[in-house]
Amino acid sequence: MADWDLLLTDARVATLAASAPEYGEIGDGAIAIADGSIAWVGPQKDRPAGKSRKTRSLGGRWITPALIDCHTHLVFAGDRSQEFEQRLNGVSYEEIAKTGGGILSTVRATRAASAKELFDTALPRVRALAAEGVATLEIKSGYGLDVKNELKMLEVARRLGESTDLTIRSTLLAAHTVPPEFDGKADDYIDLIGDELLPEVSKRGLADAVDAYCESIAFSAPQIAKLFRQAIDFDLPVKLHADQLSDGGGAELAAYFNALSADHLEYTSAAGVEAMAAAGAVAVLLPGAFLTLGETRRPPIEALRANGVPIAVASDCNPGTSPICSLRNAMMLASRLFGLTPLECLAGTTREAARALGLSHDRGTLEVGKRADVAIWDISHPRELAYWIGTPQLAELIIGGHTTGP
């Protein structure tokens, strides 16, 4: 009987293990996979005796944990290129939102689309991410903004997970903005989410977390606090779009509720960073939105580092503020625009992204016992992953121990 299902030899391994320095590099490495998990990883010369059903030499190629995109809105209908042109002509994101455009324009298109249409347009986006090494990704609702259409979005996200080899985590973002039916009655809408939508989502197991948009054009901290209390009663972890366009105390709010992550953070204060550090919340940085909106104020990177806040990087793929369906591009932008090191970018799309999804026990590094989600690359050093734009370098993506298709 074989001990392992697959043995990869002659690999340069970047384990990204938190206990190892830098990339966790193993120069002449091997990795043994059994039952979809990593059974052994280390230098070839130390490999224990064992039989493998299949053995493959990687010819010195680099392997890393498969990538994880921990913040996307990739289920949506329509596009907002017209608003992009308006913004190029000086109209602000907030002004567009206040006149019925912005998120609400995607809500109109998404409500009008069938579940099949949403699935068919989202699938190529999932495939595009997989083609660059992503094996786990998160998808938020938030373009339905009523019970029926939020459920429709979450069902599509679940079906994308069932129809592909990827792990897809879904997040209820019904508190994305106030829907037109509740104009001027944001509190009533928050009540609808808590009283009707959340119980149904929980009963049907349609979401893995609850998110909200804390911003003057969306919801206030007290409104979100009310929703978060209810989410926690349903055993759903929370996360927050925080301090993107102004300091709304979002980081502090997220920390107070032990959020998995607080995302964006351009305007987060020193106190907000300290609160996140104390709560162990991950800072998810979204340079695609920063680029697309022409923002100039960067997230407080130095303070995040100094306080030991884990930093993740995500695509934020959405039609309004981050029309970027590429995690690799987000990595490059995070280093160029925010000054993250290439190592921080790779850790931010593997180990720390897993943590932002509450999955660090199971993936994000190449360590014994973790899921065998492995990316094999045609590169000469992992820093290249935060360097090239639009350059295909993935040789192979292994998910749960199995090679995935093209």
Site residues for Fe ion per CB under 5 A:
316
Q: How, if at all, do strands 134-140 and 209-214 pair? A: unpaired
One residue of 171, 318, 349, 365 binding ligand DI6 per CB under 6 A: 318
Q: Does 119 bind ligand DI6 (CB under 6 A)?
A: no
Nearest distance, CB of residue 244 and Fe ion, angstroms: 8
- Indicate the burial class of 302 (C-beta count within 10 angstroms; 0-12, 13-18, 19 or more): exposed
Binding mask 259-288 for ligand DI6 (x = CB under 6 A): ---------------------------x--
Window 172-211: residues binding ligand DI6 (CB under 6 A) = 176
Nearest distance, CB of residue 340 and ligand DI6, angstroms: 18
> What distance in Å separates the CA atoms of residue 181 and residue 231, rounded to the nearest whole number?
23
Window 72-91: residues binding ligand DI6 (CB under 6 A) = 73
> What distance in Å separates the CA atoms of residue 64 and residue 277, rounded to the nearest whole number?
27
Closest CB to ligand DI6 among 66 and 173? 173
Closest CB to Fe ion among 138 and 316? 316
**Residue 199 and residue 234 in contact, taking contact as beta carbons nearer than 8 Å:** yes
Q: Does 322 bind ligand DI6 (CB under 6 A)?
A: yes
Q: Work out the angle between the directed axes of helices 115-131 and 147-163 (0-180°, nearest 10).
A: 40
User: Of 39-47, 99-107, 115-123, 359-367, which segment contacts ligand DI6 by CB under 6 A?
Assistant: 99-107
Q: Does 370 bind ligand DI6 (CB under 6 A)?
A: no
Q: Counting runs of H as helices and runs of E as strands, what totals does the chain give? A: 15, 16
User: What's the token pair of residue 149?
Assistant: 């259409």
Closest CB to Fe ion among 7 and 212? 212
Q: Does 299 bind ligand DI6 (CB under 6 A)?
A: no
87 binds, among Fe ion, ligand DI6, none (CB under 5 to 8 A by kind): none
User: Of 316-324, 329-337, 352-360, 365-373, which segment contacts ligand DI6 by CB under 6 A?
Assistant: 316-324
CB atoms within 10 A of CB 324: 20
User: Of 102-110, 195-203, 330-338, 372-380, which segment contacts ligand DI6 by CB under 6 A?
Assistant: 102-110
SS3 133: coil
Partners of 38 in beta bridges: 33
Instruction: Look at the block and give the residue holding tokens 């972890």.
Output: 237
> What distance in Å separates the CA atoms of residue 379 and residue 331, rounded to the nearest whole number?
16
Nearest distance, CB of residue 349 and Fe ion, angstroms: 16
Closest CB to Fe ion among 316 and 367? 316
User: What's the token pair of residue 290?
Assistant: 């920063």
Closest CB to ligand DI6 among 73 and 125? 73
Nearest distance, CB of residue 83 and ligand DI6, angstroms: 9
> What distance in Å separates the CA atoms of residue 12 and residue 61, rounded to the nearest whole number?
6
CB atoms within 10 A of CB 170: 24
Q: Which residue is nearest to Fe ion (CB)?
A: 316
Q: How, if at all, do strands 167-175 and 52-57 pair? A: unpaired
Closest CB to ligand DI6 among 212 and 379? 212
Nearest distance, CB of residue 224 and ligand DI6, angstroms: 14
> What distance in Å separates the CA atoms of residue 279 and residue 252, rounded to the nearest whole number?
9
User: Of 7-15, 275-283, 302-310, 319-327, which segment contacts ligand DI6 by CB under 6 A?
Assistant: 319-327
Binding mask 212-241 for ligand DI6 (x = CB under 6 A): -x---------------------------x
SS3 307: coil
The DSSP code sequence of 221-257 is: HHHHHHHHHHHHHTT--EEEEESSSS--SHHHHHHHT
Closest CB to ligand DI6 among 17 and 175? 175
Closest CB to ligand DI6 among 42 and 323? 323
Closest CB to Fe ion among 15 and 322? 322
Phi then psi for 343, rounded to 5 degrees?
Answer: -65, -45
Residue 192 DSSP class: H
Q: Does 320 bind ligand DI6 (CB under 6 A)?
A: yes
User: Of 185-193, 299-307, 315-323, 343-351, which segment contacts ligand DI6 by CB under 6 A?
Assistant: 315-323
**Residue 244 and residue 214 in contact, taking contact as beta carbons nearer than 8 Å:** no
> What distance in Å separates the CA atoms of residue 239 and residue 261, rounded to the nearest whole number?
5
Residues near ligand DI6, by CB under 6 A:
73, 102-103, 106, 176, 213, 241, 286, 289, 316, 318, 320-322
